[in-house]
Structure 1
């Protein structure tokens, strides 16, 4: 089956490699336009574009997937199917209609749960025990198309969104290839999603990642893990932003929300329930470091707090 793959970030490359290794013929890829990155603000091609160019595969980078030039070229290429992983562009009906077998999306949740841009992050933040991945045919409505295949994946107590996404990228890549195989063989029939159980997973921005230490410890822990590596959970200390990258739950409850306690080897903070041990933090403008090293550098006092009540010296 002739396929055109659509994807942009590094997580998409895992599925693209699996398709290259499959029996399907990869004839082109679609990805987002080059974007500025780094201190030099140079234009950098997406990970998908870089990988495809290494293989000598045609790369299409429409500013909008509705661009007439892009639609004309895709029509010329005439793919049988277009597998998609984290492409990041809104596909118009004119594009959806080109491949006879449609655009087949690999989405990192068990649909209809967590439709949207950040399903893995929301599954951790919400305290789900299990998540997974689904392949479905893209329709105009957000992540609402009929489903071809599903897999499940347990969420561990220390899983970050980065950990979980890495595992789902591997297992999801196999699911996507299996789906393409089934479609080509005529052995798979897509099943409409149930009307019940729909939850939404919009993109998590920096404002959403601010920690509230009046919340229970488990909720703070889930936000830290769900926002790692991006956008990074954060709070304020002496008026400056402090990212919190890793915490550990404790059984203690003798600190008030935001109150700090530092020893030579550990830093703890109070929440609305139990005390949390800060494991890894990242001060503004610096690299991640052990929380104990950070505490020694700033010389925490009894008056110091984490959160909106913290004051600049």
Structure 2
């Protein structure tokens, strides 16, 4: 099939690679424009842009698709279908209607649960036990289109947003090429979403990342997992006489009780409003991620200290 691929981050790359590998003709790749990044603030192409360059595919990076000029250029590609994976730009109706078979989106939840920008993080933060990836035929609403194919993923107690992201991007790539194969045969059946159970995965606000140990341990554990590694749930610890921000990347529920925020032992167990949590992977500002034992060797924390 003649495919226009639209995506931006690492999450999108496996789907692009699978589409090319299955022999479809990718007539164009759309991605977000290069932006300043890193210490030198040099303009850097997106992961999808870089992958498309390696494959020798033409890349377009408009800041918007609202102009008639951009829409006409898109129509001129004469695509059978557009595949959209975490592109990050609104698709106007003229774009949605341009490909002969419309636009297929890969979404990281089991719709209608977690429509919106951050379905991976929100599912974990809410303590969901399962989620999935779905191929959806796009319409003008926010993740309201008909569902064409689905795969369910169990969320384990220790799974972080990064873990789930990595699982989804591989499974999602396979799901999308299966959907394209069915579409090419004329056998892709899509069903309207149910109306019950709609939830919205709003964009993560950095203000949500500050840990409050007055919350139950399970709530804190889910927050740590859901925000790992970015933006990263965080606390302040006094290390060698100086208050420092520390990201909490992995944790586990633990036995123990005490005043919320109190360090209960030499294994980084901390009392919560209900129960306790053991921190297993942490990251100080300007340092790499490290296991709790390694972290403690570089800190002067002791049992009874308060972490806020």
> What TM bracket, shorter-length normalisation?
over 0.9
Q: Distance in 2 between matches of 1:167 and 1:302?
A: 38
How far apart are 1:66 and its partner, in Å? 1.6
SS in 2 for 1:261: coil
User: Which of 250, 258, 261 is residue 258 of structure 1 equivalent to?
Assistant: 261
Moved over 6 A (4+): none
5+ long unaligned stretches in structure 2: none
Query: Contact 2:264–2:304 at 8 Å: present in 1 too?
Result: no
5+ long unaligned stretches in structure 1: 308-313
User: How many residues of Structure 1 are paired with residues of Structure 2 in the alignment?
Assistant: 304
**Correspondence for 2:250:** 246
How far apart are 1:299 and its partner, in Å? 1.3
Any idea what the Cα deviations from partners look like across 1:178-199, whole Å, max 9, x if unmatched? Answer: 1112222111222111111111
Q: Distance in 2 between matches of 1:283 and 1:261?
A: 21
Query: Contact 1:253–1:273 at 8 Å: present in 2 too?
Result: no
**Correspondence for 2:296:** 295
Q: Distance in 2 between matches of 1:148 and 1:289?
A: 42
Query: Contact 1:104–1:138 at 8 Å: present in 2 too?
Result: yes
Any idea what the Cα deviations from partners look like across 1:96-142, whole Å, max 9, x if unmatched? Answer: 11112111000011111110111111111111111101111111110
Query: Contact 1:262–1:300 at 8 Å: present in 2 too?
Result: no
Query: Contact 2:265–2:303 at 8 Å: present in 1 too?
Result: no
How far apart are 1:302 and its partner, in Å? 5.8
Query: Contact 1:121–1:161 at 8 Å: present in 2 too?
Result: yes
Greater mean deviation of Cα atoms: 17-26 or 6-15: 17-26
Question: In the TM superposition, what are the counterparts of 1:1-313 in structure 2 within 5 Å?
Answer: 1-238=1-238, 239-250=243-254, 252-263=255-266, 266-301=267-302, 304-307=305-308
How far apart are 1:286 and its partner, in Å? 2.4
SS in 2 for 1:222: helix
Query: Contact 2:32–2:61 at 8 Å: present in 1 too?
Result: yes
**Correspondence for 1:311:** none
Greater mean deviation of Cα atoms: 64-73 or 184-193: 64-73
Relative to 1, partners in 2 of residues 1:253 and 1:302: Cα closer, same or farther, differing over 3 Å? closer
SS in 2 for 1:166: helix
How far apart are 1:145 and its partner, in Å? 0.6
Q: Distance in 1 between matches of 2:150 and 2:15?
A: 15
TM-score, length basis structure 2: 0.94
Q: Distance in 2 between matches of 1:101 and 1:129?
A: 34
Any idea what the Cα deviations from partners look like across 1:133-192, whole Å, max 9, x if unmatched? Answer: 111111111000111111101111111111111111111111111111222211122211
SS in 1 for 2:196: coil
Q: Distance in 2 between matches of 1:221 and 1:14?
A: 30
Computed over aligned residues only, the root mean square deviation of the Cα atoms, in angstroms, reads: 1.5
